[in-house]
Amino acid sequence: MAIEILIVDDNADIRNILNDLILEAGYKTRIAANYNQALSEIDKKMPDVAILDVKLDKGDNDGIELLTHIKSKNKDVPVIIISGHANIEMAISSLKHGAFEFVEKPFDQVRLLNFISRAVENLNLKTQNKEYENKLFSSYELIGESKNISNIREQIDKISLTESRILINGPSGSGKELIARKIHKKSKRNKEPFIIINGALLDSNKYELELFGEEKNNGSISYGALEKANRGTLLIDQVSEIPLDIQSKILRVLTDQKFKRLNGNNDVIVDVRLICSSSKDLKEEIKIGNFREDLYHRLNVFEINIKSLRDRVSDIPLLIKYFSNLISQNYNIRELDIDENDSYILNHDWHGNVRELRNLIERIAILQPESKEKVSNIVKESLKNNNFGDKITENSLSIPLKEAREKFEKEYLTIQLKKFNGNISKTANFVGMERSALHRKLKGLGIKEFN
């Protein structure tokens, strides 16, 4: 599919020069001679790349307004700004607003073509990365044998058949988005859009625009997440970060099943399944006044809780095998030889959860170590700052031997129990103790047994 470049300039000679130059380079073109024509072309179909003159017929910086409009619709579209009235302030302003490059008139044709080529490469790279991420996410499975993951798989199977709203709780990187995607994939809406909006990443002034869209003075419409997700599923990630005034508007949508776009007069009715996720405890957020209790009850029709990775150690070896195989296939290299029972890995705190583990395995794949020893060195180097063994050593230097030994035994046996999902027989066999002796040891150390 040919790359299409939008040329916007009020000077006919410049438009013709640019058009001939770009067509000769093998790209398709569209042309606009003024601000309104440009706006119409952008809203009709987003170009792959845009070349905008700063000063058109609407005002001194209407090219910057068009740049901002393009970026509000698709931030990945490269925009090259050209100007015959260039100064440093103007160049800085355009780059701050997201321009890919700033070019002075009269421009060097070879240099401009080089900028266009780089812009296309940049666009292709972002597109490939998105496709790669979507491919990975669509192929990811919810891996684990812990009770927590087994229960979540059962919950997904049941809840996918319904239209209930869902609240997914869990720490960052634990797999909340993956759970939401699995629910959508198994639901009757699976052929329709799955849209994500992240409450923590939105500009505080653009929540309404991102959710509800906008009707512009020229008659064009900017669609929000609710309309983009029509007939499909909308995931509001980090819903705890949505401001209270916007929370009340979301509540009204859930109550009335309709909303108005910004600057709009007509009701918009959409059919959307809403899933929300949070890394914060929403009940605590309600207590301190950061979250509406009535909205919480509307969202929390069905609740899924995913634990941190350090609380489901038994899943780590399975995740290592899974990601090693998946990433080696994607990188087209031999399967990674990672010791799934490496104490550095099993004893790590994993503050970044599954995402951190996946990143570690991807780093090993990129470095392509030649031996198990080199793999082990990469693991130790990557995890050394938060390693369990290091903390034990540092903490033990300041306490008596008996206390240090008990502390070590308690943390060691707790981790082993988690590794084997609380199975006493398997844990006893691994640590080299009789079942009865292990029972007595756990009781003496105050470790609560679990199933």
Structure tokens that stand for 346 in this block? 């099993």
| 285 and 167 inside one domain | yes
CA distance readout (Å), 28 to 2, 20, 23, 230: 6, 10, 6, 32
Domain assignment of residue 288, yes or no: yes
Question: Within a domain: residue 273?
Answer: yes
Residues in a beta bridge with 35 = none
| Assigned domain for 391 exists | no
The rounded distance, in Å, linking the Cα atoms of 343 and 389 is 8
pLDDT reported for residue 256: 87
- The tokens describing 20, both together, are 């001939």
* Domain's final residue, options 254, 289, 306: 306
Q: Is residue 376 part of a domain?
A: yes
Residues 102 and 220 in one domain: no
- Report the CATH number that the domain containing residue 354 is assigned in CATH: 1.10.8.60
Handedness of CA 377, 382, 388, 390 (dihedral sign): positive
d(Cα 7, Cα 198) in Å, to the nearest integer?
A: 33
User: Can you give the residue range of the structural domain that contains 316?
Assistant: 310-385
Classify residue 311 by its DSSP letter: G
**288: burial class by Cβ within 10 Å (0-12, 13-18, 19+)?**
exposed
Contact indicator for 297, 165 with CB cutoff of 8 Å? no
Q: Which pair of tokens denotes residue 97?
A: 């607003």
Q: Is 419 inside any structural domain?
A: yes
| Domain assignment of residue 392, yes or no | no
Does residue 351 sit within a domain? yes
DSSP secondary structure string for all residues of 157-209: HHHTTS---EEEE--TTSSHHHHHHHHHHHSTTTTS-EEEEETTTS-TT-HHH
pLDDT at 383: 81
In the Cβ-directed half-sphere of 49, how many Cα atoms lie within 13 Å? 25
pLDDT of residue 244: 92
Statement to judge: residues 373 and 403 lie in one domain: no
Same domain (yes/no): 271, 322: no
Give the end of a domain, one of 306, 326, 353: 306
CATH number (domain holding residue 99): 3.40.50.2300
Choosing from 306, 327, 358, the residue where a domain stops is 306
CA distance to 110, 210, 265, per residue, from 115 (Å):
9, 31, 43
Q: What is the model's pLDDT at position 296?
A: 96
Q: Which residues pair with 169 in a beta bridge?
A: 278, 305
The pLDDT assigned to 391 comes to 45
Q: Is the pTM of this model over 0.75?
A: no
In a domain, 228, yes or no: yes
pLDDT at 438: 82
Q: Do 289 and 330 fall into the same domain?
A: no
Same-domain pairing of 122 and 173: no
Do 269 and 332 lie in one domain? The reply is no
Give residue 385's pLDDT: 53
Residues 15 and 126 in one domain: yes
Let me know whether 270 and 318 are in one domain.
no
- Residues with pLDDT less than 70, the chain: 1, 58-61, 86-87, 128-139, 218-219, 385-405, 408, 450-451
Say which CATH number the domain at 403 has.
Answer: 1.10.10.60
State the pLDDT at residue 390: 43
Considering the domain architecture, whether residues 238 and 342 belong to the same structural domain is answered as: no
Looking at the structure of the chain, the number of domains it has is: 4
**Contact status, residue 49 vs residue 116, Cβ threshold 8 Å:** yes
Q: Tell me how many helices (H) and strands (E) the chain has.
A: 20, 12
Question: For the stretch 333-347, what's the b/e string if a residue is b when 16 or more beta carbons lie within 10 angstroms of its beta carbon?
Answer: eeebebeeebebbbb
Q: Are residues 202 and 96 in the same domain?
A: no
Query: CA quadruple 178, 182, 184, 190: dihedral positive or negative?
Result: positive
According to the model, what pLDDT value does residue 91 have? 78
**Both 92 and 204 in a single domain?**
no
CA 107, CA 112: separation in Å to the nearest integer? 7
